Amino acid sequence: MTLLFQLLVNGLIVGALYGVVAMSFVLIYKASRIVNFAQGEFLLIGAWTCWWLLTSWQLPFWIGFPITLAFMLAFGVILQIVVLRPMIGEPIISVIMVTIGLSIVFQAAMKWMFGVFAKPFPPIFASPTVNLFGLEVQTVYVMSLLISILIMAGFGWFFKYSRTGLAMRATAFDQQVAQSLGISVRHMFAMSWAISAMVSAVAGVTVGVVNGVSSALSFFGIKVFPAVILGGLDSVIGAVVGGLIVGVLENMAHYLDSQWLNWGNMYEIAPFYVLIAILMIKPYGLFGTKDIERV
């Protein structure tokens, strides 16, 4: 039971990270109807940037981390303006293929710049673990949980009360109507990519501190995809719920596998079984909007 409770707590903490990255998926999809297959590379670039600032420039984490977030914010804006803005009006499949190409380019660039082997972060916290309800939990996971909760609350406030958030919601609902109301759709697109890149960097740094930084970090973006589908591609709340469900499901699958099944890979594949089941039963996800087309 102690192991089960430990895995449940870990699942909730990791699930909160999944929820944050899933919100980044949803943010871009709601604004531009594009599924960004380079989302995992945003995590990788953010992690490598923070690692480089901390190791090469010897900056403390509390300085290097905000600089990383600022860099990723600018990186998202530049990427959208230079690469994706010229694709406005093109078929969606063409834009998706561009994101797949960006994924490959970013992967190759990071391997060329930093190598192919995992590199650990320098020690960040005085104590690597903290006692939480009688369980030893890594300090960086506790930090990530607090940051994830703040990001989720910030997203809720941003979309409900801020002028920019309301403008982004209007753009997602109908781009032509938003333009007629004086909203710059191009600016909303750029902002959605900027926020998505910055939020993904938070998850990338957190996972990098625990496991080291390597190209395998980009696979995190693929693992989040079941959470996005589970919650609904156009639902921010669904992204959070889906992330938490997938995080807990992974760890429960690991518990079942280690105690009884002994298959050896349930932790990795369980979310994708759920993805297939959801697509068969409820294609729009738990909170997704069902499109009705009349012919």
Q: What is the 3-state secondary structure (H, E, C) of 99-116?
A: HHHHHHHHHHHHHHHHCC
Tally of CB atoms within 10 A around 94: 10
pLDDT at 160: 85
CA distance 183 to 43: 30
DSSP state of 126: S
Burial class (CB in 10 A: 0-12, 13-18, 19+), 151: buried
Does the predicted TM-score (pTM) go above 0.85? Answer: yes
pLDDT at 294: 59
pLDDT at 293: 58
DSSP helix/strand/coil, 129: strand
What is the model's pLDDT at position 295?
57
Domains contained in the chain, CATH given: 1-281 (1.10.3470)
Cα Rg of the chain (Å, integer): 19
Structure tokens at 138: 């890594």
Q: How far is the C-alpha of 74 from the C-alpha of 133, rounded, in Å?
A: 40
Q: Give the start-end residues of each E strand in the chain.
A: 129-132, 135-138
- Spans of the chain, pLDDT less than 70: 291-295
